[in-house]
Structure 1
Amino acid sequence: MKACQGQGITFPRGFQAAGLFAGFKRAKKDFSLVYSEEPCAAAGVFTSNSVKAAPVLLSQQKLPNGFGAANAVAIVSGVANACTGEQGLENEAKKVAWVAGELGLPPERVLTASTGVIGKHLDVGKLLALKGLKAALSDSGLAALDAAQAILTTDSVEKTVAVQGKGFRVAGMAKGSGMIHPNMATMLAVICSDAVIDAAALKAALKQAVDKSFNMISVDGDMSTNDCVFALANGASGVKPSVAEFQEALDFVCLELAKKIVADGEGATKTFAVKVKGAAREAQAVAFAKAVASSNLVKAAIHGGDLNWGRVFSAMGSTGQAFDLGKVALFVGPVKVFNGGGPQEFDKALALEVLSARHLEILVDLGIGRASATAFGCDLSEEYVKINSAYCT
């Protein structure tokens, strides 16, 4: 499956979007809206952090058991509205009520999200001052770009992906650059489709896609209070794809968005994939792949081009999952550095060339089964520390 270049969140039929400046950030767009006039089957996956922001709590109420119905997703960038108590919940409800009123919807049909600095109250007055919200909506490519840009914080680039299925379309936009860690990252994503699918099936498909994508990436090992992934399907194409067809398209969009988040990691200069194969169970492969991709020591070694491969096994050993080093083979790119219980002689010049590339792959073959998993990460640089030492100043 290939991405449709130049297309964004409005690529599926019947969806409109807008990105506006409300004043939560100094100059850049900071309010994003995605809307379908036709009611949508809706599904959501939320942060597993026990400290959840007001918009997460409110959206979870609207999607009991992770699915329901909605027409719109409203996102503020610059204010997380997390750790803000009852006032935060009241402000978020006012935000939703305002959007619903502007669009002529009941409040329960508007999902909400926010991203930004934790501990700051949402100034609803800045939203109320915006005029002509519905008139700002458009199905144009420019509107899709505006909406994708309006959700960014420390991101350096907008992240969008769209695909054409057999008579139906799926498109998504996401933000994420720091506080990225499995289950889930500091990230927001909205995915739209014009396929015919019911809400329960959409939830099942979204969970499967998220488990393979957003839950398999790590930038810095920190989990956010505000993570949400929403999926909306309005049925405007009139096409009901098979479960496999829809899953393939949704998996593709989620995985490509996840890769773009990693590539745009705060201070990142390199990205890497960790593939674990030959595992006895998928859960074992997932645990090892996540551990290696999340290891700050592995990330630092990749940043410096240091082939310190022992850190891979150290990360794997921290999971509590058993494995037999005597059966393991470890590759960095095409270079085999460990096999059958001991280190291997290898071409150091080739290894350094692999480590200097913008993207590389670490392959661990456990040699005991057929299960596999792949996680994605980026290096840890001095620039990451610089960015996060002055986030609020």
Structure 2
Amino acid sequence: MIQALNTVKHMSVEIKVPTVGESISEVTLSQWLKQDGDYVEMDENIAELESDKATFELPAEKAGILRIVAQEGDTLEIGALVATIEEGEASAASGDKKADTQEPAKTADNSPSDNAPAAQSDGEVSYAAGTASPAAAKILREKGIDPASITGTGKDGRITKEDAEKAQVKSEAPKAKPTEAGKPAAATETPKAASGARNERREKMSSLRKTIAKRLVAVKNETAMLTTFNEVNMKPIMDLRAKYKEVFKEKHGVGLGFMSFFTKAVCTALKEWRAVNARIEGDEIVYSDFVDVSIAVSAPKGLVVPVIRNADTLSLHEIEKAVVELATKARDNKLSIEEMTGGTFTITNGGVFGSMMSTPIINAPQSAILGMHNIIERPVAENGQVVIRPMMYIALSYDHRIIDGRESVSFLVRVKQLLEDPARLLLEV
């Protein structure tokens, strides 16, 4: 008996939630990349896990047949069992799947009803038939729908999250009103249906979205946040880009965008006004003699802020390459926790979505954030003449506990000065 147990244990490997960071205690299984019974290769990604900071993929630790334990939407602690991988060949796995999907022939005398659970190939009802996954069960509870009324499309008749989202409450026929003796029954009045679609759907907040929500509320409640505004004439930078963008791209292999100019201007201004680059820890103020710039990027699952390390030492083309690399990783959900950790100052560009003006919220524990906005041609006074210039509003939100009004306004004016005369960025004057 002991030898048999050891043999079974040797033949399968348990796949558990790995340790992904010191501050992360649980993750959410967001998506299976493989199905139960599939043959997987060693190091092949089988699932996506989502923490409150990032999304990462779970690889197979050996080649074999995948046996799923946890379901999509489950919240799992670090070290929890996700799946097992049994020894086997690809042909065996495909054979198992065929056997699982076979159904007995239906006849006119013995056809399953719409609500009957799916049957296995041996004719016995599976224990999973009619059982809702944790994510599906929650959705059905919120809708007030009995799982027994749902036909599951998952393995062995299991009710999946998609089944629950598609399920609708069955409406009951209106009861006829009793009539008085001798009086004809009045025609039943049917309520007027509301015009247009009035559907609603509920989705569980992802770990990333819940963390974003908590942090934003904490910043509003725990900091003395204030915002100061200014505007920048973007014509000098736009003229410079138009003149050198082709040569720049040919030489460095990357386009010349606005972000590199703003990053360089911010780094120069932060060296002069160090409180804007500082943070509060307990009863102390921590001043950094380096600049790690966080850039806000809209990713498929929410806003993320990857960090450009030592941005103050980088050239324009090095900054542009870093921006492209981090933005691509963010869109593909490939950012690591290290790439999103730290940062001493943040730049966010709401202008790409058409924002004219906004008050960005500080990215804690930082003390300030710069907001860029869209560029609009407006009439402005210049040397006593009204001229049309491409103008951009910029906003600096800052923690008034550490940054005074003089420092915040002077910092923003310095950024404006550098952007309106970009030669200063190159000459560092």
Q: Please, what TM-score do these two structures have when normalized by structure 2?
A: 0.25
Q: Please, what TM-score do these two structures have when normalized by structure 1?
A: 0.26
